[in-house]
Amino acid sequence: MKIDFCEEKEKLLLDGFIIIENLVSKEHVDFLHEKMLGESWEMMKEKKWGGVRSCHGHIQQNPPRYAPYVFRDIVSNPVVINISKLILGENFYNDFYSANTNCPESIMQPLHSDCMPLWPGNVIQHPPVSLVINIPLVDTDEINGSMEIWPGSHLVLGAQKYVDEKIFMERKKTAPPMRANMKKGSILIRDTRLWHRGMPNTSTTPRPMLAMMHHIHWLKRGKKLAFAAGCESDILDNQIDHHIYFTHEPIDHSIDPTQN
């Protein structure tokens, strides 16, 4: 597959997101999905709701950070690295490795951005400083709650983290939202300011979607994430600052990775 990186970069800058298909091996996706699905059902039973405002049916679920569940085409995908480098420059870093699992009977989340602009009072928007990398572990569509995204909304001035209904109803007239429907193996890369929300999952199975966050090198860093020793060759790529450490201690991946 040939990717026009200049075109993808332009699209990402303009629309605030891109989706590229066939970037992750379906075997890797299925293998990780099988491992995580059991944990999704458990968390669902215990009503461990998370994500934005911990809405009913939405789980913040961390994937295992030990072999054999760590894959280079997920954590260090070369196409994603190339795009992040084009947008964020050299030495960008990742500080997040989790998943949004949207469970059956979930409700609609409030429309929101993941990060606010760095200079909120500016009269023009600054270039992107952070990107979210989303990788669904199943095909996603309107039935199982594909994410709603608002093209171009990352450039709207004056928006708050939770977008006021009056503001989004007005924007809807000229720039309506769409659903990020994806085949498994695809990757969605989006500006963290892009308006989006989880939608009801009316199917009978959870819809897991991995999430990583890439940041420009000078943005303030949080704690490093722990991965199990032995995964080094599945992860390390010198074009990305992984902001992680490897440990021989057992890793409880159910704990919030940034608290680990």
Ligand X SMILES: O=C(O)CCC(=O)C(=O)O
CB of 18 or CB of 147, closer to ligand X: 147
Q: What is the DSSP letter of 225?
A: E
Residue 234 CB, nearest distance to ligand X (Å)?
26
Nearest-angstrom CA–CA distance, 56 and 47: 8
CB of 62 or CB of 76, closer to ligand X: 62
Residue 211 CB, nearest distance to ligand X (Å)?
8
Shortest-Cβ-distance residue relative to ligand X? 51
Pairing of strands 58-60, 196-197: unpaired
From residue 76, give the alpha-carbon distance in Å to each of 24, 222, 228.
11, 20, 16
Give the residues lining the site for ligand X (CB under 6 A). Answer: 51-52, 58, 100, 102, 109, 147, 196-198, 209
Nearest-angstrom CA–CA distance, 214 and 112: 19
Residue 187 CB, nearest distance to ligand X (Å)?
15
CB of 99 or CB of 240, closer to ligand X: 99
Residue 161 CB, nearest distance to ligand X (Å)?
10
- Take residue 166 and report the two structure tokens written for it: 């009056």
CB of 58 or CB of 242, closer to ligand X: 58
Bond preceding residue 68 cis, omega within 30 of 0:
yes
Q: What is the DSSP letter of 83?
A: H
Residue 197 CB, nearest distance to ligand X (Å)?
6
3-state secondary structure of 209: strand
The per-residue b/e assignment along 23-35, b for 16 or more CB within 10 angstroms, e otherwise, is: bbeeebbeebbee
CB of 76 or CB of 134, closer to ligand X: 134
